[in-house]
Every structure is written in structure tokens, then in C-alpha cells.
Structure 1
């Protein structure tokens, strides 16, 4: 059976040491920072950047974007992007 967006988000959360969520929610800033760390995108944990910057950085580090321009990641991750992130994290293990 195909994984849903919620399944992918929870798989990613667990891969970076965050907790699975029962309800459907986008990633928090803290979860995005953990994903950034896992894919090698450096963020200041004392002053987290805006979510679009972290999303763009994640997508850039996994090869989905050519740069980390936040204007290209203003919306929550799409299912194909979540799949790419989950795949990248799986390769890191």
C-alpha cells in the first residue's frame, strides 16, 4: 500500500529522532531543524531561521533544488518532496 503524506512525515520525524504524531500536522520549526541537521544543512539552533529557509535548505541538500532560496519553498512539503526526503534519510542510515 502506498504511503500517505502523514506516513511520510512520521517516517521522517522518526528518522531524525522526533516523535510520531497522531494528527496530521506540518513540521514544526524544531522538526525542520532536526531534518536540516540530518541532511547537513547548517542552522543556528539558538535562533532558528524561518520555515521556508529551512525547507529550501533541506531540498537543496538532497538535490531537489539548485539553491536554498526560501522563495522556492514557501509552502509545506509536497508528497513527492517528502518521499525524496525520506529516501535521502534512509540512505544516510
Structure 2
């Protein structure tokens, strides 16, 4: 059964200890920081980096990119990327 983008986001949120959301929404900075922690992408403590940097780091750590350059990483996660992230978190 194919999962929707919302279902994948919620699976990822739950895997990193965040709460499920009923409405369709992108990840908050806090949720992205929790995902970074779960995939061992280190971010500085204190002020959170931009969302683009955290998304690039997550993509890099789950094998979707060769680096964590936010300028070439693209915007919000696409469905195939969410599937890869969810799979990586299931195996953590």
C-alpha cells in the first residue's frame, strides 16, 4: 500500500519523538533538528541553522546526496525522499 506524503511525514515525526500532526504541514525547524539528531547529522547547539541546511544534511546522511550543500539541495522533501528518510529511521 502506497503511503501519502502526510503519512510519511507523521511516521518520521513519530520516529524522532515528535507528535503526529492532523493537518498537512512541512517539518518545523525543531522537527528537522530532531531528524538531524536521529540520522547523526550534527548541528550547532543554541541557534538552529536554516531549514535548507538541515534538509541538506538529512539528505546527505540518508544517502540521497554526496554533500550537505544547502544551495544545491533543493527545497522541501519530495515523496521519494520522505520514503528514504522513513526507511533509514526504521533501521536506526
Per-residue displacement from partner, 1:28-77 (whole Å, max 9, x unpaired)?
Answer: 00000000000000012411000000000001011100000001234110
TM-score by length of structure 1 reads 0.95
Please list, as runs of the form range in 1=range in 2, the aligned pairs for 1:10-25 lying within 5 A after superposition: 10-25=10-25
Root-mean-square deviation (CA, aligned residues, Å) is: 0.8
C-alpha distance 56-14 of structure 1, shift in aligned 2 (>3 A): same
Match of 2:56 in 1: 56
Structure 2 stretches of 5 or more lacking a match?
A: none
The reply to whether residue 34 of structure 1 matches residue 45 of structure 2 is no
Q: State how many pairs are aligned.
A: 92
